[in-house]
Amino acid sequence: AIQLTQSPSSLSASVGDRVTITCRASQGIRDDLGWYQRKPGQAPKLLIYAASSLQSGVPSRFSGSGSGTDFTLTISSLQPEDFATYYCLQDFNYPRTFGPGTTVDMK
């Protein structure tokens, strides 16, 4: 199974900060990667699919980039509602696998 690693595992940031989260795949996965946001007690929310395509209704401060093995999720200006855990998910092959998550908390 393809392994995904995320860095950092957690970060502290302030409202207005630019935040970057990295996801690395154990083998090339083209652009078959999505990003999800998870808040406590809530279902995960789809942010990005196909590495860089923004899901409808997701604020434009979220963006994704990358292909092959290295991917990035960027929040251009962190908002109070963005404090959450972020997961990458590969859909290049089966079984689908998630990264371990990156928690963004308040500095």
Partner 1 sequence: EVQLVESGGGWVQPGGSLRLSCAASGFTLSSYWMTWLRQAPGMGLEWVANIFRDGSEIHYLDSVKGRFTISRDNAKNSLYLQMNSLRAEDTAVYYCARDLDIATESGYYDAFDIWGRGTTVTVSS
Contacting residues toward partner 1, per CB under 8 A? 1, 30-32, 34, 36, 38, 43-44, 46, 49-50, 53, 55, 87, 89, 91, 94-101
C-beta closer to partner 1: residue 17 or 67:
67
**Residue nearer to partner 1 on the CB measure, 14 or 56:** 56
Q: Which is nearer to partner 1, 17 or 52 (CB)?
A: 52
Label the pairing between strands 70-75 and 53-54: unpaired
Least separation in angstroms between residue 106's CB and partner 1 is 22
Minimum distance, C-beta of residue 4 to partner 1, in the bound complex (Å): 10
